[in-house]
Structure formats: structure tokens, C-alpha cells
Structure 1
Amino acid sequence: MEIAILPAGVWGTALAVPASAAGNRVRLWRRTPGWSAGWDRGHPALPGLRLPDAVAACDSPADAVSGADLVILSPASAGLRAVCRLVRPHLRPDAVIVTVTKSIEPETHLLVHQVVGEELPEHRERIVALSGPNFAHEVAAGLPTGAVAACPDLTLADQVQAALMTDRFRIYTNPDLVGVELAAALKNVIALGVGISDGLGMGDNARAALITRGLVEMARLGRAMGANPLTFAGLAGLGDLVLSCTGDSSRNRRAGLAIGRGQSAAEFLAETGLTVEGIPTTRAAWQLARRLGVRMPITEAIYQVLYEGLAPLTAMERLMARPRAHELEEVAEADLGPPKAR
């Protein structure tokens, strides 16, 4: 199978490892003009990686995409529409579009597949989300990893599973595209909150509580948007949430740690130059929750810290001082509890 990956950033380059190991021919494209001439078959952020000869570097989107069976779009959310516009003229009519971006578009509140569907209307029904608890450097190193391919048309999800799965990169399928994409985006928000809590020195108990109650919030919003709440207990939900909240390679956790220790989000971004998807996603999620009438107190607290200047310690204190609640009633509202007697 012919697979194109655009752009070949850290995650896109890492995905070339299982894609080529599964027996495919892979073509990469980066935005840097003429980059292929000096390419060392790796990526500066993935030390020690040397991709096999089955992976080729291309200097134009047309060269990468033309004739590809699978086109993996791997930009940060801010560049998603631009990459779609670059590839659209060169796509095969039967190409499968695979998205790996984890965000909600801030201005429109659209999920990734909805953004791609607007930009690639001819392929609107051929979009598969690939998501899960996946740090790029571990995938590039061939360490065992689980992921989920989501599409309402399971035959397309099956194609992605068959094309990319190896004995080190195990892929499951799920028809719940909305749930998988929403879980992937919202876990970034909760990871920011957990990082803030850890930065404040609130301890392991607080971390566990935030992860657990954060998952309930994620499922609440998912239910309101038509997702299957059980998706949030899977790899794109609980799996990615745990990884992002506890793994030191998580950008969102690192940003939260800095904020909890007194640095502003703007200062952290300027100092590191990192893309932290959870920051704009927090605002989008909070606005979505308000519009849909969904209670998301943790998300609201993070929003207030990021966008209203609320002190992180005050945010934590307010969360702990909320009115008493019955855990199982709230879980039942998110459809995560046992079925009610009829």
C-alpha cells in the first residue's frame, strides 16, 4: 500500500515506523523547502531513528499524495486547514484520509473530522481518526503501543487497522468517530489541570481525583454531542488521559506544571516554543459546555486560570468547596454506570 504522511513532524515521522514495518511504501513531506536533500532519515526530536528505504522524502505535497491509498494528516490544529488545501487537488477519489490531530477548532468548535470534511468534501465520508495513548518517541523506538482507528464506516477503519498494525503497534477499531476525537481533545484539557495541581504540590490523591472526575466530564460532553460514553473508557479516552496526566513527555502536563509553579501560559509557550493543544481546546470545550448546558467544573476552573487570571490555588480551593454530590448519580448521567432497572 502507498501511504503519504503530511507534514513529517515528530508524530508524522514516528508513524512512518509502523507504517513501513507493516510492509507499506511511505512518502513524507515537510514544509521546509528542499528538505529532502539533507534528510538523514530521521527527525531531530527523535534521536537514533533511521527510517528504512521504504520511506521516501518528498519536496511537494503533490509528490507525496499522488497515488496514495492512505493519506495521514498530522499537523498541529492551527495548520490543519492549510494542509488539507494543499493535498486536495492531488488526492485519489478512493483515498482514505487518516487524521491524528487532537483538538477542537477554537473559532468554530468543530471536531477534526468536521474541519477536514469542510476542506475535503469529496472525502467527507472517508475520514478515519487514529488516536490513543501514543508518545511519538516510544512509537519511533518500536515500543509496544495501542491505538484506535475510528470511523462510522468500519470497513475504512478496518483498512487503516490492516495497513498500520504491527506486532508493536496494535490497533483496535471503533465506529464512534465523534467520541474518539472528542476524547482525544478533552484529555489535553484535563492533563493541563493535573499538571497545575502537581505544580501546586497537591499530591497523588488530588491527581487521581482529577483524572477520575475529569473522565466523567469528558463523557458528559461526549454524550451531549452524540458520542458513545463507553468510548471514553477506551484507548482514546481513559488510556490517553492517564498517559497525558502522568507521563513527563506530555506537553499539556508540562505546561500545567509550569502554570502551577507560577509561570503564565504565555511565558511557558514563549520559553519552550511548544504547541500545547490543550490551551486553545480549554476555551473551546468550555464554550461548548456552556452552549450545550453540560456541567464541566474542572474544565471551567482551568479556563478561568488560563483566560480570566484566576490564581491556580484559588481554582483548586473552589473545586474542593463545591456543593456535596452523589458520585453514582453523576456517573449514571454520563452513562458510565450499571444499567438502571426497568
Structure 2
Amino acid sequence: MRKVAVLGSGAWGTTLGQVMVDSGQQVLIWGRNKKVVREINRRHSNRRFLKGIDLPRELKATTDIKAVLEFADVILVAIPAQTLRENLVEWKGFFPTDLPVISTLKGIEVDTQFRMTEVIQEVLGIEKSKLGLITGPNLANEIIMRQPAGAVAASENQEIIDLITDMFSTNYFRIYPSKDLVGCEFAGAAKSVIAIAVGMAVGMGYGENTQGLMITRGLSEVARLGEAYGATPLTFLGLAGIGDLVASAQSPLSRNRSFGEVLGKSGSIVKARQQIVKTVEGVYSAGAMLELAHRVGVEVPIIEAVSDVVAETLKPKDALDRLMKVSIKAEI
């Protein structure tokens, strides 16, 4: 049994906490919201993020960040991607640097264009060999009900991969290993952007053909981009790539897909923000990924279109028109 600190009491942090309890780990969740923490401890629920779900009694929570870090053998990071740096800076003075740190975050930092494990490395000075990632087609509202699902354990260190596999393996949650940390992080960030594009197409009334076009060409874009930064192209054909993209782009539970749908239907970024109040990571990652693409000369027309739409320099309909006029090149 390992003692795992989960930093983040939202839907995903709470869900992964339940998975780890089911796998036999001792889990303590940290959250800022006193009401959420109290409810997890007393009512064994988290109605703000996971309505109608009864949580394991063994799952505990606290608002004391120092206490949760002192408790831990392993640290799991499950806070919004764009808040990672500011939180780590706040915690740096007492954050242990000798423990494994597992990221669950899917995004690219806006200001630096860093992947999330790069942010952790830079702020805390933690060795790359201590870092890992769990990623894949993982919608919290399904996994919390213990529906069968799979994920990828990614790290450049096999010991960390084995650790993640042991921490999360249950009879409903299956883990697959990967040493392509770069590819898995790129895939997780890009799927949010492509899911917005698919949502916009749906919102404008387009059907399965258009969605299929966005998904496959979007996957091609991120595979080329990832490869330019050292990723293995085959990674994007697995759970971390096409698996995550299909789940996010086609599910009504996906925030990014839902945001895109409102945006495509209304043509208004303001209305989309009003209706989808939770974090929509693709809004932030689009511009950051476009900047990464420009640095290495990789063309990413779908990512660029989403970036322009969320920046309010392009209308959704004009974005699709522009995509259909992109010069034809070999598909693969």
C-alpha cells in the first residue's frame, strides 16, 4: 500500500482517488475549497463536481497542503494546467523533490509553451527520472461509475511506469506502458484543441463526415508536430492519441467538444464561456501549440483555426471555409 497525495479535489482528482483506493492505495486529496473537502470526509461525496456519486469511505481529503505532502510517498497532480506554475511556486519551499510526481494534466503552458512535466522540472528542480504521466480517453463521469477504461502510464523511467501501473490497475481500469512522455503530453494537449474544432462543426450543423475529417486531420497535425519535438509517431495511434481524441471529440460529456458546439452554433466566444463555466483547456492550449508549430515550421491549419477563433480574430464559419481551401498535400 502506497500513500498517495492527490493535489486537486475536482472531478478528475477525486475520480483517480477512487481508482487508487480500489487498487489498494491509501489516498489523501488536497483541495482549497473547504466545503468540498468537508463533504468528501463527512458525506463521502463531491456533489460540486460528481453529482449523485457515493465515494469510498477510505477516501479522505484536507485543505492543508503541507500535511498532504508530508503524508505522501507519491504525489499526483490534478489541478488545472494553467494554474500549475503559480501553485508550484507557492508550494516550492516545502514540496519534496525526492518523491515520484505523476502528472494528470493535459495542456501546454500559455506563456512558455512548456509541457506540464517541463513546468514541474523548472519550478521544483525535480529530476526527469522522478516524473510520470497518466493519460488517455478518460472521462471522469464514466470512470467514477467504474465503467471499463484504459490509460497510458508514460515516463522515461521504467520504474515510474511500473509504479503508475501498480497504483491504478483495477478490474475496470487497465494501464498500458509508454516511454514516450513527450508524445503522450503533446497528444493530451492537442486533443482538447481538436475537440473544440469538432464541436464547432457540430454546432454549425455538419455531420459525421466533417467530424471524421477534423479528427483524422487533427491527429495528423499533432503527430507531425510531436515528431518534430522528438515524439514517436505511433504514440498518436494509441490510447494517448486517437483514443483520447475520439472520446473527447465525440462525447457530450467533453467540455472542449461542448464549448466548440456552443461556439459553432452561436458564433460567440462570450456565449460559449457563459454556458461552459468549467475549465476548457483547449482554449488556452491552441495558441501555445500554434507557437510551438511555428518554431519548427510544421503546418497545423486546424489548430491555427481554433486559435484564431478563440482569439476572436476569425468566425467559426470562416474558419471552416479557410480549412477547406488549404493547399492539398499527401494525406500521410
- 1:334 is aligned to none
Which deviations, in whole Å up to 9, do the C-alpha atoms of 1:114-151 show, x marking residues without a partner? 00111221344311011000011111111111000110
2-structure distance, mates of 1:216, 1:75? 29
The match for 2:114 is: 110
In 1, Cα distance between equivalents of 2:151 and 2:201: 28
- CA deviation map 1:21-47 (0-9, x unaligned): 011110011102475444422211212
Stretch of structure 1 that moved more, 10-19 or 116-125? 116-125
8 Å Cα contact 2:75-2:101 kept in structure 1: yes
- Unpaired stretches in structure 1, ≥5 consecutive residues: 332-342
Aligned equivalents of 1:233 and 1:321: distance in 2?
A: 27
Counterpart mapping for 1:1-342 below 5 A: 1-33=2-34, 36-39=37-40, 40-44=43-47, 45-327=49-331, 331=332
Contact 1:146-1:171 within 8 A present in 2 as well:
yes
Give the deviation of 1:311 after TM superposition. Answer: 2.1
Aligned-pair distance for 1:171?
0.8
Deviations 1:260-304 (A, max 9, x none): 112422332134322100011111111111121001111112222
Q: Give the whole-Å Cα distance in 1 for the aligned partners of 2:69 and 2:44.
A: 19
Give, in angstroms, the shift of residue 8 of structure 1: 1.1
Q: Structure 1 segments of 4 or more deviating over 3 A?
A: 33-39, 85-94
- Partner AA of 1:244 in structure 2: S
Measured against aligned partners, the alpha-carbon deviations of 1:88-115 in whole angstroms (never above 9, x if no partner) come to: 4444554210111100001100000000
1:125 is paired with a residue of what secondary structure? Answer: helix
Deviation digits for residues 283-336 of structure 1 (CA, Å, limit 9, x no counterpart)? 111111112100111111222222253222222122112233332xxx2xxxxx
Instruction: Supply the distance in 2 between the matched residues of 1:313 and 1:92 (Cα, whole angstroms).
Output: 49
- Greater displacement, 139-148 / 48-57: 48-57
Between 43-52 and 112-121, report the one with greater CA deviation: 43-52
SS of match in other structure, 2:112: coil
Percent sequence identity is 36
Query: Does the CA contact (< 8 Å) of 2:219 and 2:236 recur in 1?
Result: yes
Contact 1:75/1:101 (CA < 8 Å) preserved in 2? yes
How many pairs are equivalent? Answer: 328
Please, what TM-score do these two structures have when normalized by structure 2? Answer: 0.94
CA distance in 2 between counterparts of 1:311 and 1:272 reads 19
Cα gap change, 1:49 to 1:90, in 2 (>3 Å)? farther
In the alignment, is the contact (CA less than 8 A) between 1:118 and 1:124 conserved in 2?
no
Aligned letter for 2:44? R
User: What's the C-alpha RMSD, in Å, of the aligned pairs?
Assistant: 1.7
8 Å CA contact 1:101, 1:112 repeated in 2: yes
State how far apart, in whole Å, the 2-side matches of 1:211 and 1:255 are.
16
